[in-house]
Amino acid sequence: MIRAAITGIGGYLPEGILTNKDMEELVDTSEEWIITRTGIQKRHILKDPDKANSDMVVGAIQNLLSRKNIDVEEIDMIIVGTVTADYPFPDTANLVAHKIGAKNAFGYDINAACSGFIYSLVTASKFIETGTYKKILVVGSDQMSSIINYKDRTTCILFGDGAGVVLLEPNEEGPGVQDSILRAEGAGWEYLHMKGGGSKNPASAETIANDWHYVYQEGKTVFKAAVKGMSESIHDLLVRNNLTHEDIDWMVPHQANKRILSSVANYVGIDMDKVLINIEKYGNTTAGTIPLCLWDYESKFKKGDKIILTAFGGGFTWGSILLEWAY
Ligand code: UT7
């Protein structure tokens, strides 16, 4: 049986930094409120006006390729999980393939908000498991600063920019993606969305005046739905695979709020020292959080480790993946 195994990781964070002190200058907030309510200390921001999301993706892929001895022309496919594509079309994946010289690759973007990386990873794993492709780059990347209203204290303190990527390859010895549960509930759209710029509300003077080109979120509702969605999908995944929380070596969750992560760990029964957290450094980078967390903690993983990836985001979209580490 062929499984899709992660065999390499890369990451990219733009140089610009917004600290909680900087936030105090922008909106009516405090360093103490941000840290205690979210766990965030700072975020990276792409400030160069000549650069966009695809440049962060290229940075992450170059980081991966520099650590793996492979020729970029061996890449078959690139999937980019993102809600901040450079353009409404063409997809970021197309621009990236051109920029890195991946002449034999095709690809596309997947828009599943904060679940973009897990949706992309499951999609890519099917192309590997069926023997269709041998090397797929799965990216999660968002330039949230391009859609954040830095006058709205309820959202601007949360988000940052960043890109992470994994290389997926076939493995016939067991490790790789073991199982996954992905879910969606479109009724949740009203609690987390960006209203302007699509076919429903094309850009106009009115959409700009209404702040419809920025992220809108009802935090409390999303918080509760996130805890429920992530917890239940992990629980169902464990039961379906005859596992308990004790069999899990690491949980790598989407980083939206440190309090969400401890609530999920508590519900599922996973010790907090198995929950990998880096939200303090990057904030919520939407599709970027999980691959950036894998990148940061790569040295902790051992071959055979059982890892749960879990996410929840706009849509609503959510789900969990059971992974066995391959190296
Ligand atoms: O990644 C996609 C999924 N997204 C998430 O999972 C995010 C989920 N939501 C959250 O993380 C939290 O709901 C927030 C961090 C957004 C907000 O935290 P909260 O504990 O739910 O706060 P709240 O919205 O209930 O607001 C509590 C108070 C309010 O004041 P009053 O009405 O009690 O006087 C807010 O106006 O905190 C106020 N507040 C702030 N105060 C200082 C809201 N934002 C801020 C702020 N600084 N930045």
Give tens-digit pLDDT for 47-68. Answer: 999 999 999 999 999 999 999 9
Q: Where does a domain end: 174, 200, 230?
A: 174
Atom of ligand 1 nearest to the CA of 219: 13
Strand-pairing partners, residue 318, are: 183, 312
Rounded distance between C-alpha atoms, residue 207 and residue 211, angstroms: 6
Q: Are residues 217 and 259 in the same domain?
A: yes
So what's the pLDDT on residue 69?
86
C-beta separation of 260 from 245 below 8 A: no
pLDDT digits (tens, 9 = 90+) for 222-253: 999 999 999 999 999 999 999 999 999 999 99
291 and 170 fall within a common domain: no
Q: Report the pLDDT value the prediction gives residue 201, as an integer from 0 to 100.
A: 98
- Asked if residue 201 and residue 232 are part of one domain, the reply reads yes
Write down which residue in 122, 147, 174 finishes a domain.
Answer: 174
Among 30, 31, 37, 192, the mutation site with the greatest number of ligand 1 atoms within 8 A of its Cβ is 37
Give CA–CA dist 207/195, Å, rounded.
8
Nearest of 40, 163, 154, 31 to residue 96 by alpha carbon = 163
Are both 160 and 194 inside the same structural domain? Answer: no
Average pLDDT value over all residues in the chain: 98
Question: Rg for the chain (alpha carbons), in Å?
Answer: 19
Question: Same domain for 15 and 151?
Answer: yes
In a domain, 182, yes or no: yes
Q: In this structure, are 156 and 236 located in the same domain?
A: no
**281 is a domain residue:** no
For 304-327, write each residue's pLDDT tens digit: 999 999 999 999 999 999 999 999
Q: Is 284 a catalytic residue?
A: yes
Residues 45 and 182 in one domain: no
Helix (H, G, I), strand (E, B) or coil at 271: coil
Kindly state the DSSP code that residue 128 receives in the 8-state scheme.
H
Whole-angstrom CA distances from 93 to 90, 181, 198, 227 are 8, 25, 20, 31
CB-based burial of residue 125 (10 Å sphere; 0-12 exposed, 13-18 middle, 19+ buried)?
buried
Average of pLDDT values for 10-38?
A: 98
Q: How many domains is the chain built from?
A: 2
Dihedral pair phi/psi, residue 75, rounded to 5°:
-70, 125
What is the pLDDT confidence band of residue 258, given thresholds at 50, 70 and 90? Answer: very high
Query: Is 254 annotated as catalytic?
Result: yes
Q: Tell me the per-residue pLDDT of 262-303, one tens digit each, with 9 for 90 and over.
A: 999 999 999 999 999 999 999 999 999 999 999 999 999 999
- Average of per-residue pLDDT across 82-100: 98
CATH of the domain at 257: 3.40.47.10
CA distance 261 to 254: 8
Q: Which pLDDT score is estimated for 44?
A: 98
DSSP 8-state symbol, 159? B
Say how far apart CA 161 and CA 299 lie, in whole Å.
23
Distance CA(117)–CA(187), nearest Å, equals: 21
| Domain boundaries, position 257 | 178-276+286-324
Q: Which of 38, 144, 223 to mutate to test the pocket of ligand 1 (most atoms within 8 A of CB)?
A: 223
| pTM check: above 0.95 | yes
What pLDDT digit, counting tens, does each position of 105-148 carry? 999 999 999 999 999 999 999 999 999 999 999 999 999 999 99
Q: What is the pLDDT of residue 51?
A: 98
Residue labelled with tokens 């650069």: 51
pLDDT for the residue numbered 217: 98
Q: What is the mean pLDDT of residues 78-94?
A: 98
Considering the domain architecture, whether residues 69 and 162 belong to the same structural domain is answered as: yes
Q: Which of 20, 114, 156, 171 is catalytic?
A: 114
Residue nearest to atom 38 of ligand 1 (CA): 154
Q: What is the mean pLDDT of residues 20-40?
A: 98
Q: Are residues 154 and 8 in the same domain?
A: yes
266 is catalytic: no
d(CA 42, CA 174): 39
Residues 141 and 84 in one domain: yes
> Which of 20, 156, 171, 254 is the catalytic position?
254
- In one letter, which amino acid is 199? S
Taking the centre of ligand 1 as the mean of its atom positions, its distance from the CA of residue 158, in whole angstroms, is 10
Residues at CB less than 6 angstroms from ligand 1:
29, 33, 37-38, 114, 153-154, 157, 219-220, 222-223, 226, 256-257, 260, 284, 312-313
Domain boundary among 140, 174, 208: 174
